[in-house]
Chain A
Amino acid sequence: MVLAVLLVAALALITLDYRDGSSGPGRDLRQAGGAVFGTAESVVSAVTGPFVDFFNNSSGSSSSGQVASLQRQVIQLRTELSQEQLSKAQYRELSSLLQLAGRGRYRIMAATVIAMGQGYSQTVTLDAGTADGIKTGDTVLNGQGLIGTVTAVNAQTCSVLLATDATSVVGVTLATSGQIGWVTGPGRTGSGSGLLKLQVLDENANLSVGQQLVTAASIHDRPYVPGVPVGVIKKVENRGGSLTALALVQPYVDFTSLGVVGIVVAPPSHNPKFSVLPPAPHVKPVPTVTVTVTPGASASPSPTPSGGG
């Protein structure tokens, strides 16, 4: 009996939320939940955040000799002040973020990731809310590039839909060529394989590995302000008969260890175009050292003993 009532209630909630997700009782519920749990999350994250950051930093540092480096790091962190170390890391993140924002002339609000979504969604919670001037649809970025967009705001927290989420669609512009396309997230996948999927409207577009993407301009700069670096094309998929050109994009941002992020509260007055992009990963000319083998040079070791003999 109780079970039946609860199941019906759950189904009713799902239906209501499905019908009008952005309004109605679902929104009120989310607001209430955000008020309660957002506060709890920010409090808890203030305590547990350093540990999580430490775990993520140390686990992602090196693959070979990981045990040795971990042990070294543990010893180091026990002898030194770990908090100071982590503040340094945060400082680095923040400074790179500010540099990026300065290049693009974004006015940003710095925030910290305090929670991450559950299940198959790729969402995070930031510790900035309406009190800090955050609105739904603001772009979120960090020192490396685009992170996502704000989907829900509470008084103290906001929820961000990451660019890697399966429902996320980001309009992009290819650097230098200016072709327009969009990038969709892969959803939740194993770590390291989260490549975004790029589709370019022009099926004859000349995509090449190493091309960079920035966000395209949106109407009223929502949900994405223009000019934020997204990623770099890693693999071009040529599919015959497809209406769009397809490619896989390696995002600039490491979505597995998000720390300090910035929320763009005021877009730039003009489109920064590609000025924010990091220096293009130009193909390094492989130094082909041509060694001309001369008989004298090659034979020089041998004549010596022969000469000696």
Chain B
Amino acid sequence: MRRAVLSVVLLAVALTAQLTVVNRLSLPGAGAPDLVLLTVVAVGMCSRPATGAVIGFCAGLCLDIAPPGSYLIGEYALVFCLVGYLCGRIRGLLNQSATLTIAGAMAAAAAGEALVALLGMAISDPQVSWTAVQQVLPSSIVYDVVVSPFLLYLVMRAMRWADSLGRDGVAAGQPANGSSLLAGGALSGSALPGGTVLGGAGLLGGAGWLAGPVGSRGSGGPRPSRGRRKPHTPSTPRLRGAAARSGDGWVGGGPRPGLAASAGLRTGRPPVAGRRGRPPRLRPAAGTPGSAHARPQRALPRSPANLRIGAGRRRDGSLGRALGSGAAGVGGSALRGRPGSGPPGSAFRGRRPAAGRPAAARPGAAGRGGSYGAPRFRPDTRLPGGSSNDATMRSAALRRSLPGRRASLRLGTGRRHDGIVGGSALRGGALAGRRLGARPVSLRLGSGRRGDGALGGLSGSRPPWARTRRATPRFRSGPTVGGHSLIGKGARLRAGKRARFGSGRSSFLTTWTGGRLGGRSTVWRIGSKRTGGFR
């Protein structure tokens, strides 16, 4: 809508400027630049073919009926309609480089001038003679070609400005200039260092903060050249202030409902993350269960400690799920397991935890009033990876000091839209995912699902590899992955497939950003394991 208004304004300005100023200037040569044509070209370069055709038609019609009426009504409408359509078409072909775009705009302007002359010679013969065309057309084309890059730049700047107007209303904490590149780059740059250490309640609880920047970086922060040409992609995920959105990922419980989930997002500061090198404790953050869930009607009961690892549900982005009576109804598609052996949807098979036992490492934070006070992760020796207790995490799950106990911490369930640590957010995590697949710790970073990942952000564009990942087994409900059998057999909660994507390749992020992003400069640490990370 803003673009439409802006296009109308631009064309009106171009039309009046053309008729009152440019045509009256006695420029050397017979021709003059055609600002209306160039504006149609530039606007067409920013829009779809149909839109470009409509804009061109309207502009041409206005030029036809504007007072010093020239030809037959409809001539310019016909030509500009074609030109606008053409520009919308070649935009898709030419968005590889700025040079190609400029060249395309020049060619379109020249073609438009030639079309005007041709049509004039065809249907308004005495006025447009061949001799006049010979004299006027070359200089007109030269003027158009010269002016076209500048006008293209101006129009694209204006379009981006209009888009940023639209985005500022939604985005919080985004730079005011609205440049998606800048926003994505800056925020992701500041976000990821905090997010690379998987540990600490602050980080886990504030994972919604991660969700925004990474989500916007994942597909909303396009490359410079791409972003300039396609400033408005309908599926571009935006950096939203509200984290409790569909697909937003919480690693751990979300913040209190009253608290803005995006406090970190707004201020641009990451929540206090755990220190690196230290065995990260997956501590239940101060959170409210279900705060990251997209569907409030399926709200889960509040429970104090909800370090949830492995959400069993589509679109829920919690690292794990809240247990309880409500959880049984909602799915547990990951583990439709044996009743009694574990809560449905729980990443950890095992006995249902006893109520009242504090599971959280920080009981104070975890003990905020919930209807369900059951600890989720207990120092239960039968649960190899499920403990959120410090001791268990250190001893059993994360450091894996006991040989038989493989950590089966699963981050990311491979569900569509569940954005845990992984998915397309971790495009740079292709290597990490691959490495993890080969390891006993079947930590899956990056499930390769559409919409998952981006650390919870909705990634709008379907990743190219998503098609092949659909049949990936997610959670085994067989005995192999059960918590009990894990102990004895040393089996791991397998991912089903090893490399989720990007095996043998460099990271997508690295490829897309030309190496500026995506390198594994820091690591995710689960326990003492380096699982790969991203800059």
Contact = CB atoms under 8 A, between A and B. Distances in A.
Interface of A: 1-3, 6-7, 9-14, 16-18, 21, 26, 29-30, 32-34, 37-38, 40-41, 44-45, 48-49, 51-52, 55-56, 59-60, 113-121, 123-125, 152, 154, 157, 159-160, 165-167, 186-191, 256-257
A152 B78 CA distance: 23
Contact of B68 (A21, A40, A124): A124
Q: Ordered nearest first, which 9 A-B pairs have the shortest CB separation?
A: A33-B65, A13-B74, A10-B78, A116-B23, A117-B68, A14-B74, A256-B26, A37-B66, A123-B68
A119 B71 contact: yes
B148 to A, nearest CB: 17
A82 to B, nearest CB: 17
A125 B19 CA distance: 9
Interface in B124-182: 126-129, 131-133, 135-136, 139
Contacts of A125: 19, 67-68
A11 B122 CA distance: 13
Contacts of A40: 12, 16
Contact of A52 (B21, B65, B70, B76): B21
Nearest to B69: A30
Contact of A33 (B69, B71, B126): B69
Contacts, number: 204
B65 A14 contact: no
B334 interface: no
Nearest to B85: A3
Interface string B358-398: 00000000000000000000000000000000000000000
Interface of B is mostly: helix
Nearest to A113: B24
30 contacts: A7-B81, A7-B82, A12-B74, A29-B73, A33-B62, A34-B65, A34-B67, A37-B19, A37-B66, A38-B66, A40-B12, A55-B25, A59-B26, A116-B20, A116-B23, A116-B24, A116-B68, A117-B19, A117-B70, A118-B18, A121-B68, A152-B67, A159-B67, A159-B69, A167-B126, A167-B127, A187-B127, A187-B131, A189-B131, A257-B26
Most interface-central of B12, B25, B54, B85 (chain A CB within 10 A): B25
Most interface-central of A37, A59, A124, A256 (chain B CB within 10 A): A37
Nearest to B77: A10
A55 B54 CA distance: 36
A12 B77 CA distance: 11
B9 interface: no
Contacts of B26: 55-56, 59-60, 191, 256-257
Nearest to A159: B68
Contact of A11 (B49, B78, B131): B78
B20 A33 contact: no
A117 B75 CA distance: 14
Contacts of B65: 29-30, 32-34, 37
B29 interface: yes
A119 B81 CA distance: 17
B19 A120 contact: no
Contacts of B127: 120-121, 165-167, 187
B16 A37 contact: yes
B82 A157 contact: no
Interface string B14-58: 011111110111111110001010000000000001100110010
Given A30-B69, A118-B63, A120-B127, 9 more contacts: A9-B57, A13-B72, A18-B123, A33-B64, A44-B17, A48-B20, A116-B24, A118-B76, A191-B30
Contacts of A16: 73-74
B132 A166 contact: yes
Contacts of B27: 191
B30 A6 contact: no
A128 B280 CA distance: 82
A122 to B, nearest CB: 9
A165 B69 CA distance: 13
Contacts of A48: 17, 20-21
A115 B20 contact: yes
A157 B67 contact: yes
A286 to B, nearest CB: 33
B284 interface: no
B102 interface: no
Nearest to A21: B72
Given A119-B70, A187-B127, A14 B135 contact: no
Contacts of B34: 118
Given A44-B17, A115-B68, A119-B120, A187 B132 contact: yes
B156 to A, nearest CB: 23
Contact of B136 (A34, A120, A157): A120
Given A29-B65, A40-B16, A41-B19, A188 B30 contact: yes
Most interface-central of B17, B28, B71, B133 (chain A CB within 10 A): B71
A146 to B, nearest CB: 18
B492 to A, nearest CB: 55
A41 B13 CA distance: 10
A165 B65 CA distance: 18
A188 B29 CA distance: 10
Contacts of A32: 65
Nearest to B30: A190
Contact of B129 (A1, A33, A187): A187
A125 B18 CA distance: 13
Contacts of B74: 9-14, 16-17
A257 B26 CA distance: 7
A204 B74 CA distance: 45
B116 interface: yes
A41 B67 contact: yes
B60 interface: yes
Contacts of B60: 10
B507 to A, nearest CB: 41
Contacts of B123: 14, 18
A257 B24 CA distance: 8
A120 B32 CA distance: 10
Interface in B58-116: 60-78, 81-82, 85, 116
A154 B18 CA distance: 20
Contact of B23 (A29, A117, A257): A117
Most interface-central of B26, B66, B68, B128 (chain A CB within 10 A): B68
Most interface-central of A26, A52, A115 (chain B CB within 10 A): A115
Most interface-central of A120, A167, A256 (chain B CB within 10 A): A120
Contacts of A14: 72-75, 78, 123
B165 to A, nearest CB: 25
A212 to B, nearest CB: 25
A241 to B, nearest CB: 22
Contacts of B132: 120, 166, 186-189
A38 B71 contact: no
Contact of A166 (B21, B85, B129): B129
B72 A6 contact: no
Most interface-central of B23, B66, B120 (chain A CB within 10 A): B66
A124 B131 CA distance: 22
B19 A116 contact: yes
Nearest to A28: B65
B19 A118 contact: yes
Contacts of A12: 74
B73 A30 contact: yes
A7 to B, nearest CB: 6
Contacts of A1: 50
A30 B65 CA distance: 5
A121 to B, nearest CB: 4
Contacts of A187: 127-129, 131-132
